A = this chain, B = another copy of it.
Amino acid sequence: MSSARLIDGKAIAAQIHSETQARVLALKEKRGIVPGITFVRVGEDPASQAYVRMKGAKAAELGIHSDTVVLKESTSQEELLALIQKLNTDPKVHCILVQAPLPKHIREEEIFSAIDFHKDVDGFHPINVGKLLLGQNPLFKPCTPAGVHELLIRTGVPLSGAEVVVLGRGNIVGKPMAAILLQKDKYADATVTLLHSRSKNIADHCRRADIIIAAMGQAHFVKADMVKPGAVVIDVGVNRIDDPQSAKGYRLVGDVDFEAVRQVAGAITPNPGGVGPMTIAMLLSNTARAAEAF
């Protein structure tokens, strides 16, 4: 049996980082602007700490200034909103990233909507999501689906008229992913079906697809017999499964049964090393974009 071409997210992300670095340099030399992003972290979730540290380090590598505001777990809705208002009006802050997940007592929706949409580097503000669906070229597209889109474009996957199945209707990946690919655009024009927990005939839909984008958060959900030979399979999932062999007692796996599916697919993202590196690449590209538009 043949084996699928691997879509190398690390290599493509590295290419985007190098483009961003050049844009940051140009901003500095031509306009004297250093792009700045402020991370807001609430509480001491270890994963959030690690994410923010990693994003900040990569930003620094590219010449982007970053600050991190750490608030205590007990921060109130009003205190967090007040901080966002302050950052909204601070001209040195081009972008604001409030790291999810927030503590349970915080109403996330209100927080994300309070960020000035010109600084909404995550692309989660309703006005940016609305522009995305309307085909009105928002300043920011959500980083993960935008990263998947770049992977498809840069590996030359034909999109016009392609049958695409998006698994999962989350606000962070599934819905904006569908919105990107269904647009009337030379880099889109796909026929998109969005599948979710209430969908029937999921395997049949998948078997018809030229491109499967798995973002529902179920370990190894996409099996080899759900994939049309030659199809492109993109694995967005990050799931913990028990692994007594591992020091941590678990390991991270995707939504795709990689070893089996790669025998059938035409191209596939490894996981890790596929979509993951693209999210931060798009985040820092968005940061440069915010400063360019400032």
Interface residues of A (CB under 8 A from B): 109, 125-136, 160-161, 163, 169, 171, 175-176, 178-179, 182-184, 189-201, 205
Contact = CB atoms under 8 A, between A and B. Distances in A.
Given A126-B134, A130-B129, A171-B134, A199 B191 contact: yes
Given A161-B198, A192-B193, 9 more contacts: A109-B134, A109-B136, A126-B130, A126-B131, A129-B130, A130-B133, A175-B179, A189-B196, A192-B194
B191 A196 contact: yes
A139 B182 CA distance: 25
Copies of this protein in the assembly total: 2
Contacts of A193: 191-193
Contacts of A198: 160-161, 184, 189-191
A251 B179 CA distance: 35
Given A130-B130, A130-B131, A169 B184 contact: yes
Contact of A191 (B179, B190, B195): B195
Contact of A130 (B125, B161, B190, B196): B125
